[in-house]
Amino acid sequence: MKSISRRRFIQNSALLTGGIYSLPYLAIAEKKEKHKFNFTQVKGRISANGTGIPQVSISDGEYIYQSDQEGKFEFSTDQPFVFFSYPAGYQLNVLKNGSVDFFKKLDYEKKLNLVEFFLVPNPYPEEEHHFISLADPQLQTDEEANSFIRESCTDLIKTKNLLNDPNLFGVGLGDLVFDQFDLFEQYNKGIQSTGIPFFQVLGNHDIDLLARSNEFSQYPFTNHYGPSYYSFNRGQRHYIVLSDVYLLGDKQYVGYLNETQLKWLEQDLESVDEGSELIVFLHIPSYSKVVENNPGRDKNKESLINRDALYEILKNYKAHLISGHVHWNENILKENIFEHNTAAISGAWWVADICYDGTPRGYGVYKSINELSWYYQSIGKEKSFQFRIYLPGQHPDFLEEYCINVWNWDPSWKIRWKEDGLYQGEARRETSYDPFAIQTFNQRSSDSKHSWINAQRTDHLFFFKPNSLNSKLEIEVIDRFGNIYTEKLE
């Protein structure tokens, strides 16, 4: 990490004189009344064991400051929160709701807010650590919440025990609930049960779609989890959480990063060495083929409208973008950007145990050491479950061929087969529908739960035709890290 040699301060006189300023949106959303001050002075310290921690990034969401040699910071703001970027080498403090504690809400009844952040040194080396990416729980009913806690979170605990990593953390990639804000408590209960500290990302179903502006719409989320964009560090890795759901009004939203957030991101990256591999979490993917493969969907809701602005800021880094939102699994590599769109842990909105591309409901598991590695974990399955095979006659468009759905595929994977012990070559990739998804979603009645769900065309399907239907077949799938997954067919 680079150290920043200068500190940014806003002159109080410039902030407190001249002009008309709006109140912090959080304060208005809570009380809907005018507070005593439009700005507040923030004075604080970040420390561990009584010793101040220098060069920690402290932010109000607009500007980033650096703590001095005694861990102190001071500035004026009209923003609702003050928060810090977790430095490497310190344990993650956790709120009562199971999410990571890295912020303080400011009181605009006070002219001066005194803020203290207390950290604890991490006794475990962080250079190697793991994290879990969990997308779209989409809790809309108590029944779904119970399934999330009973099945999904139990599976998370199993993975936690398997990894045996004291530095494991999780990231909820948004749509934690499905417009039912009282179910945030159930989501929190599930997260707490895992014992894994979680960071949270704002999703389009976590906002108030009836709010008068984008800023006001975020209150249901920020009331539980604090700022909707921030950063943190673990070992040598820098992590960034962005908020790319933008409410237009009339219940309409798009994928968009506003200028305040883009400028904040530019400041945040001043502390990161160019050429570093970094991780960016967001809800709506910067880009997805879901619209290209399934015409008629709204690309402005399924991807980031101003992604070129984000790519420009990230151009000097090796960036992994990890997202949710689409309810399918997809990996896209373009120059320095590796986009990982994570299938929903709710599957197709709790209608079935698969998403509409045939990906089983599950989550991503990542390992950070020198370089990032990852795999997809399906709920209730072993780690080795990385593909599903369909026999000839099961895919309506390729009746004479075997079909293999390899949901976490990227161009570095190899999918090949043996007949009677002899390699025959690599399977052919096609864009089509998953047979199980067709069977599950496309023939339901109009009064079925979420009857609008249909199978979606995906490009992680592979096909081959054997020389003989009587051959002994073996399917071999090799991921980009050299892990080999096989299945024999008699």
- 171 and 241 assigned to the same domain: yes
Query: Per-residue pLDDT for 408 more than 80?
Result: yes
Q: What is the mean pLDDT of residues 60-67?
A: 98
- 54 and 91 assigned to the same domain: yes
Q: CATH code at 465? A: 2.60.40
Nearest-10 Cα torsion for 222, 225, 229, 233: 170
- 101 and 240 assigned to the same domain: no
Phi and psi dihedrals of 398, rounded to 5?
-135, 65
Within a domain: 172: yes
Structural domain including 446 reads: 388-489
Q: CATH code at 282? A: 3.60.21.10
Strands of the sheet containing 198-200, edge to edge, are 198-200, 169-172, 129-134, 362-368, 372-378
Residue in the block written with tokens 């005593």: 36
- 45 and 165 assigned to the same domain: no
Tell me the CA distances in angstroms from 416 to 196, 398, 427, one per residue in order. 37, 18, 5
Residue in the block written with tokens 């969907």: 297
Strand stretches in 203-302, DSSP E = 230-234, 237-241, 245-249, 252-255, 277-281
- 80 and 173 assigned to the same domain: no
Within a domain: 154: yes
Residues 256-306 have pLDDT tens digits of: 999 999 999 999 999 999 999 999 999 999 999 999 999 989 999 999 999
Within a domain: 2: no
Q: How many domains in the chain?
A: 3
- 339 and 238 assigned to the same domain: yes
- 452 and 485 assigned to the same domain: yes
Q: Which two tokens stand for residue 43?
A: 């004075």
Within a domain: 199: yes
> What global pTM score does this model have?
0.93
- 76 and 42 assigned to the same domain: yes
Within a domain: 56: yes
How many secondary structure helices (H) and strands (E) does the chain include? 12, 29
- 207 and 300 assigned to the same domain: yes
- 404 and 366 assigned to the same domain: no
Within a domain: 4: no
Last residue of a domain, one of 350, 378, 406: 378
- In angstroms, the CA 276 to CA 279 distance is 10
Last residue of a domain, one of 378, 401, 425: 378
Residues 189-215 have pLDDT tens digits of: 999 999 999 999 999 999 999 999 999
Q: What is the mean pLDDT of the chain?
A: 93
- 209 and 332 assigned to the same domain: yes
pLDDT at residue 115, as a whole number: 98
Q: Give the model's confidence band at 468: pLDDT under 50 very low, under 70 low, under 90 confident, else very high.
A: confident
- 437 and 308 assigned to the same domain: no
Last residue of a domain, one of 93, 119, 145: 119
Q: Which two tokens stand for residue 58?
A: 């402290």
pLDDT at residue 34, as a whole number: 63
Within a domain: 401: yes
Query: Per-residue pLDDT for 18 more than 60?
Result: no
Within a domain: 1: no
Q: Is 366 strand, coil or helix?
A: strand
CB 289 within 8 A of CB 410: no
